[in-house]
Structure 1
Amino acid sequence: MPCTTVLAGKLATNDRSTMIARTDDGHFDEKKLIVVEPDQQPKIYKSVESHVEITLPENPMRYTSCPSVDPKHGIWAATGINAANVGMTATETTTSNPRVLAADPMVELREAKDGEEERCGGIGEEDIVVLVLPYIRSAREGVLRLGALLEQYGTYESNGIAFNDENEVWWLETIGGHHWIAKKIPEDRVIINPNQFGMDSFDLEDAFGARESHLCSADLREFISENHLDLNQNGKFNPRDIFGSHRDMDHIYNTPRAWFMGRCLAPHTYRWDGENADFTPESDDIPWSYVPERKVAAEDIQYLLSSHYQGTPYDPYAGHAEKGGIYRPIGINRTGVTTICQIRSDVPDAIKGIEWVCFGSTTFSAWLPVYTNAPQMPDYLSNVTLDAETDNLYWVSRFVGALADKCYGSCIQNVWGYQDTVNIRGRQIVLKYDRLMRESGDFTLAAQANDELCAMAREESAQILNKVLRTASEQMKNGFSFADTCVNK
């Protein structure tokens, strides 16, 4: 599915936490946030999309999950944090090129016909979180487990997957049907990835030597050489050039998002605007990683993932007839769920994991932090139906976005106020319960904290829904002003 990913190492953040975040931009897919206990994890997993069956290990851990409400196409767990405080987001749909796909074709489902038996497909976005997250105790372990699954079962799509623990963030990208490449993010950097093969540097010597910060398929060197994939000059190894794409469609759909995020993270490091710009929205060589000019907080990642080219001629809400809306925004209407998996380093192990959840279009929705080490999530996040209603944050967020979009100029200040208030009150509740749980040693209070967080979100969401509904009603096209006195006369 089309998505946008942001990753942050612990020295790039304000509180030395690691963060991985991704918008899950499906086709208006209804989503919820739940906790999966070990006895709820299947022992044999079968993919709906590809029919592949995989026997799972016997020792799953508790983990959070953002599955689809409608299970007809599979689980699509999207993202989560497990009991070992390892986060995962899967997947960022990426791009490849014909040379790679010819050399290592995708493993696609082949239905039984003409007397031939069915051939199962590989694993994909539907499956990966369920297959990996319950069984890993570090971000590196996540890379190694997923890499082994890709080599054994293959995949039917190009994807990027992120893992984080208290100290490390890793990014894995698939290459063709069975190959992969992964890199540990430098601690002082922020990574941006908008639906393209992202990595623009890789140390093959480390990958085939100490394996400190780079991992890959065991035969990657031979795969590149035998299939004449290396397009690089002067000994430079740029995996984006080798495995990725440079298509005209990228310049409308992908590179503009990278341009906007880079512009926010490093506004003075590079020139982003004007005739002498280092990078434009259609540049193919926009950097993948940045040392941000100031440390980033969760709210900065929220801003990036809620953006629509504000402050530029490409903002669809700014009224620029010539350029407004020509590029695909990050904050898009069809997003189902977006999360930031934050693993903190300054609190006890039992409460290191915080998941910031945002349903619907990020431009208009609020981000709610919740503790992940809890036996279940409150109904306001987990009890989502396929029918529109106001009893959960998913559908309220959809209502707010659909109404506010139509009268952006009149609604947006109220929306900003709502988003800020949920952030402020959410952080206050987390600070309160961090202190209570430290002092008491009773970490079961995390469930109580989540209840309080959801009660706050319900209160604030009802208020913003009232406001945008009133504004949208006042601006309906069938309105008509005519003085009552005229009627009486």
Structure 2
Amino acid sequence: MKKLTFKVVIAVMAILMLPIQAVQACCGFIFGRQLTADGSTMFGRTEDYPYYPNGGKHNKNYVVVEGKNYKEGDQIVDESNGFTYPHAANEMKYTATYDSARGDGSNGAFGEHGFNEAGVSMTSTVTAIPNKKVLAKDPLKADGLPEAAMLDVILPRAKSAREAIELLAKVIEEKGSAEGNTVVVADQKETWYMEILSGHQYVAVKVPEDKYAVFANTYYLGHVDLNDKENVIASKDVEKVAQEAGNYKTDKDGNFHIAKSYGPEKYAEGDRSRTYAGITLLDPKSKITYEDDEYELFRSPTDPNKKFTLEDAFALQRNRFEHLNGRFIPDDQIGVKKQGDNGANDAVRKDQYKYALGNENVIDAHVYQIDPKLPKSFGGKVWLGLGPSRNTPYVPFYGNVQDTYQAFKPQTATYDPNSWYWTVWHIDQMAIKNQDIFGKTVQDHWKMLEKQFIIDQEKKDIEYYSLKDQPEAAKAAEHKVTKDALDLSDRLFQHFKDYEKLMEKQLEAAGRKSDPYRASQPDDKQDSSTPEKPDTPKTPEKPKATEEVNKNVLPAEYYVAAPPTHDIPANAEGNPNNRFGYAATANVQVFGQASTRTEAPQAQGQASQEPSQAPQTTVANAEGNPNNRFGFAGNYEGGKDFKNIGTFSNGN
């Protein structure tokens, strides 16, 4: 049904000659090491999933893929579009964060981000949309390299960040690209940023250590010295293709401008809102305006003494325009169906409502912290927010873990109480749909935990710094690293279940109901017979005094006393964060600490005990793939009447 629905939508759009565009999906950032308080490089991305009928509810699996030897003729076969590429004879171990739907013939792997055992880290991709003129000259390839397979091609074999970019370039030249994409790859020595501009054109640059960047679903590179082979890796015809396409653009000094030549004439609204919000959050004194024609990619803070922290990275990915003093409000707060990058629905919604970084479609947020003082094989740490960034905690894991916790592995398509993703997704849904009860207390609780995680990780880092020049000892430490990661994950997941249960109790006390099984169903499958919100909600009751925190779940230092009350403005109807129009409620008890949990999670939705971790090789026809996110036939070589890409409604 998913496949049929998707094909019908695309077919109708093609017949009507309507623009078929990639949805606003994903936003990345980079902090150069000279701009961070601890001297580490940080980069990351939010993975958005706005695709009907599963917008904002798409399970992810954080796993370890073991190194493996392959014989000649063995190939990677991606099920999202049929892309193939030979396996290397000896492939390294790496981590990945796959779509749970991989292997069913309809989706693709979408590993998205990870570390390999050589200490190389990668996030792929932030989708970007080439313009029509360029694509008429150098079309995307229907069976070219897709986002879905990129991580599995690069991480098993790249031993440095530069080698990863060189391999990406080689694959694009040989096989072509299925999509326009932006990729970030790093090791302990350098970080690279790459824009894949069309079917065979690309430019990658070494990121300056004294700059930061925020980038959404478009191109940002301006003028680049293509002759600087030390710091730039580019396709040989990148200027020629722009010229022959009749879209060669220059900067004010007459130099070739990459983004203007290959990207849209102006930023899509969702790209502008996230870029502007990110820059102004990180640099409040920046002179940029919302209406600027272009935003420079690599930037210096206005304050020369500014140093970024992990908390800055988390705040960036959670940002919902709070720092703009009411100028903008996240568009998910008025139930607007986002029509997309072409601005089709701008006329029917107030200009105040914009697409936020911490939006309703985020399914995976991650921050990579690359510390050169750690052993090379550690790579660094990923701070994993596996769920909606607005109400999900970031949890640290070293890059050399040998295994991940069982709750990261269920390949379930709807709510599963044994799944990490689905549990934090449900917590977020309760928080965002009942803000008059929970306010920001859920996010504040996770922030409190994160502060303790940061303290604990600093202690662990110091312990492992001593192994920097002892590769054998660093290798032996993987067992302890993994044990610690599994132990933290287990205790934290139990805490999630306690937290989820007490939130449900508070909703029941208010006369409201949360049904994650129903809510997680595809939008075209949900039973609408029972409303999720009663017409007349009650004032929530205070939790009973007997509901105490299970001190065995997390150490005592992870807990603080629950705040007594949460005051809601009298005119709740006018509160921009009151999405569902609940009547004003004064002095409401907020959610505090979790109740004691002694039983196992519910049996419903029980996942298979040991789901596949590595991507499957089942090939699905690209045209019939409901989650072939950007592989619409009109984009490709030989496709008819290509229309430059924008969004369609996800029905949320």
TM-score range, shorter chain: 0.7 to 0.9
Match among 58, 62, 70 for residue 29 of structure 1:
58
Q: Distance in 2 between matches of 1:166 and 1:64?
A: 17
CA contact (8 A) 1:384 1:394 kept: no
- For 1:353, give the aligned amino acid: G
Match among 252, 264, 270 for residue 253 of structure 1:
270
Q: Distance in 2 between matches of 1:38 and 1:195?
A: 33
State the TM-score, normalized to the length of structure 2. 0.66
Q: Deviations over 1:156-187 (max 9, x none)?
A: 21111110111211111112111111111110
Match among 101, 113, 134 for residue 79 of structure 1:
113
CA contact (8 A) 1:437 1:445 kept: no
Aligned to 1:241: 260
Aligned to 1:274: none
Q: Distance in 2 between matches of 1:361 and 1:354?
A: 20
Note the C-alpha offset of 1:401. 1.1
Aligned to 1:212: 230
Q: Are positions 1:289 and 2:307 aligned together?
A: no
Task: Name the CA shift for 1:41/1:325 in 2 (closer, same or farther; >3 Å).
Answer: farther
Q: Are positions 1:366 and 2:385 aligned together?
A: no
Match among 74, 92, 109 for residue 126 of structure 2:
92
Aligned to 1:4: 27
Aligned to 2:97: 66
What does 1:343-358 align with in structure 2 at a 5 Å threshold?
Answer: 343-358=370-385
Q: Distance in 1 between matches of 2:415 and 2:199?
A: 39
CA contact (8 A) 1:138 1:165 kept: yes
Query: Partner of 2:390: helix, strand, or coil?
Result: coil
Aligned to 2:593: none
Query: Partner of 1:279: helix, strand, or coil?
Result: coil
- For 1:300, give the aligned amino acid: D
Q: Which moved more, 1:122-131 or 1:346-355?
A: 346-355
What does 1:274-285 align with in structure 2 at a 5 Å threshold?
Answer: 278-280=288-290, 282-285=291-294
Q: Are positions 1:262 and 2:291 aligned together?
A: no
Over the residues paired in the alignment, what is the CA RMSD in angstroms? 2.6
Note the C-alpha offset of 1:297. 1.6
State the TM-score, normalized to the length of structure 1. 0.86
Q: Deviations over 1:38-57 (max 9, x none)?
A: 12889411121221221121
Contiguous gaps of at least 5 residues in structure 2: 1-22, 50-54, 336-348, 468-472, 513-533, 540-652
Note the C-alpha offset of 1:205. 3.0
Query: Partner of 2:383: helix, strand, or coil?
Result: strand
Q: Which moved more, 1:41-50 or 1:165-174?
A: 41-50
Note the C-alpha offset of 1:458. 1.7
CA contact (8 A) 1:161 1:171 kept: yes
- For 1:32, give the aligned amino acid: N
Note the C-alpha offset of 1:438. 5.4
Q: Are positions 1:314 and 2:348 aligned together?
A: no
CA contact (8 A) 1:368 1:457 kept: no
Aligned to 1:53: 84
Q: Distance in 2 between matches of 1:225 and 1:456?
A: 58
Note the C-alpha offset of 1:68. 0.9
Aligned-residue sequence identity (percent) comes to 22
Task: Name the CA shift for 1:325/1:316 in 2 (closer, same or farther; >3 Å).
Answer: farther
Note the C-alpha offset of 1:264. 1.3
CA contact (8 A) 2:70 2:89 kept: no
Q: Which moved more, 1:331-340 or 1:32-41?
A: 32-41
Note the C-alpha offset of 1:385. 2.8
Task: Name the CA shift for 1:317/1:231 in 2 (closer, same or farther; >3 Å).
Answer: closer
- For 1:386, give the aligned amino acid: A
Contiguous gaps of at least 5 residues in structure 1: 109-120, 271-277, 483-489
CA contact (8 A) 2:117 2:378 kept: no
Query: Partner of 2:99: helix, strand, or coil?
Result: coil
Q: Distance in 2 between matches of 1:452 and 1:431?
A: 18
Aligned to 2:365: 338
- For 1:138, give the aligned amino acid: S
Task: Name the CA shift for 1:45/1:266 in 2 (closer, same or farther; >3 Å).
Answer: same
Task: Name the CA shift for 1:146/1:319 in 2 (closer, same or farther; >3 Å).
Answer: closer
- For 1:462, give the aligned amino acid: K
Match among 470, 490, 500 for residue 455 of structure 1:
490
Q: Distance in 2 between matches of 1:465 and 1:45?
A: 40
Q: Distance in 1 between matches of 2:483 and 2:101?
A: 28
CA contact (8 A) 2:373 2:465 kept: no
CA contact (8 A) 1:30 1:394 kept: yes
Note the C-alpha offset of 1:479. 4.9
Q: Distance in 2 between matches of 1:382 and 1:39?
A: 20
Aligned to 1:390: 417
Q: Deviations over 1:419-461 (max 9, x none)?
A: 2133123224423433454579551210111023213422442
Note the C-alpha offset of 1:481. 6.1
Aligned to 1:468: 503
Note the C-alpha offset of 1:320. 9.7
CA contact (8 A) 2:69 2:89 kept: no
Note the C-alpha offset of 1:478. 4.9
Q: Distance in 1 between matches of 2:298 and 2:435?
A: 32
Q: Are positions 1:136 and 2:158 aligned together?
A: yes
Q: Distance in 1 between matches of 2:369 and 2:270?
A: 28
Query: Partner of 2:154: helix, strand, or coil?
Result: helix
Aligned to 1:125: 147
CA contact (8 A) 2:120 2:159 kept: yes
Q: Are positions 1:103 and 2:117 aligned together?
A: no
Q: Distance in 2 between matches of 1:163 and 1:480?
A: 49
CA contact (8 A) 1:194 1:254 kept: yes
Q: Distance in 1 between matches of 2:286 and 2:400?
A: 39
Task: Name the CA shift for 1:4/1:124 in 2 (closer, same or farther; >3 Å).
Answer: same
